[in-house]
Structure 1
Amino acid sequence: MNIFSILLAFLAGAFGSTQATINTMIGKQASQFNMIAYVSLVQVAISLVFILFRGDFRSLSGPTWGWIGTSALLGVIIMLAVTTSINSIGSLSVYVLLILGQVILSAVVDHFGWFGVPKSPITLQKAGSISIIMIGVVLLVRS
């Protein structure tokens, strides 16, 4: 088991919920779409600094614009959905639902091997684990 990867995944989750709460606050002050534009522009600027610092210009000609556009659209939808939902159901409920959505779709992606991911069929054990997560999410959101 790779402890470093586990720690990175945990930190990504912790930072993601923190970022969403900050974005919600920004959205209340500047509107949701302005928040998305502002945050995205700063992310681009920071990313370009990293590219320039590393001298890794070949990465600028990598994936097709279709995939980039799809990912960008999904990012806007995710930011809008999360920050809008936090205002009405709270951060914890939003994030357990977000994680449930990620778990279910990740299982489907793995099962069919979409996007170049190695196929990993949904087994009875995986389906049972997802069901337990779903029950926990329902109980938490209803509380």
Structure 2
Amino acid sequence: MRLTTGLLAMAAGVLLTLMTLTNAVLAQHTGAVFASWAAHGIGAVVALLLLLVTPRTATPEGRTPLWYYLGGIPGALVVVLSAIAVNSELALSGTIALMLTGQVIFGAVSDHLGLLDTPRRPITGTDLAVAGCVLSGAVLIVLGGA
């Protein structure tokens, strides 16, 4: 892994946490579903602006299956569910910790199965240990704040 790729991933994590926080605050005032709609509407405008100012990358030969464009569906649900969770006793840190746990576990399973035509990477003992550590950390954050 290159350092820049790792830093980009960490920056994405910071932005994901900031997004979760701002959407949760908006949801307190407007409701979780409206917060999701607003976040994705504004996000669509920003993505369109980025599309206009960045060079287009090469696409694979052949047509892209329509279902590849359905990533916005889980995105909308993430905003709704995380807004509800942040505005509960979990607060931001507990919500993010449990979201990370879900991401690590699903990511390992997805890699193992090669979901959505991605490269397969078998689950290893190290992967299981990492998932256990992340889960343990999440439990400490959630229960430690009680």
TM-score range, shorter-chain basis? 0.7 to 0.9
Instruction: State the alpha-carbon separation in 1 of the partners of residues 58 and 28 from structure 2.
Output: 39
Aligned to 1:134: 135
Contact 2:105 2:131 (8 Å CA) reproduced: yes
User: What are the ranges of 5 or more consecutive residues in structure 2 without an aligned counterpart?
Assistant: none
Secondary structure class of the residue paired with 1:133? helix
Query: Does structure 1 conserve the Cα–Cα contact (< 8 Å) formed by 2:35 and 2:80?
Result: no
TM-score computed with the length of structure 2 as normaliser = 0.85
Q: Compare 124-133 and 17-26 and name the one that shifted more.
A: 124-133
Work out whether residues 51 and 57 of structure 1, in 8 Å CA contact, stay in contact via their aligned partners in 2: no
* Greater helix content: 1
Q: Which residue of 2 aligns with 1:118?
A: 119
**Equivalent pairs, count:** 140
CA distance in 1, matches of 2:104, 2:115: 15
- Could you list the per-position Cα deviations for residues 14-69 of structure 1 after superposition, in whole angstroms to 9, with x for gaps in the alignment? 1111111111111122222222112211111122222223464997xx74332323
| Number of the residue aligned with 1:106 | 107
Structure 1 length as normaliser, TM-score?
0.87
CA RMSD for the aligned pairs?
2.0
Gap runs ≥5 in structure 1 = none
* Pairing 1:47-62 to 2, within 5 Å after superposition: 47-54=47-54, 56=56
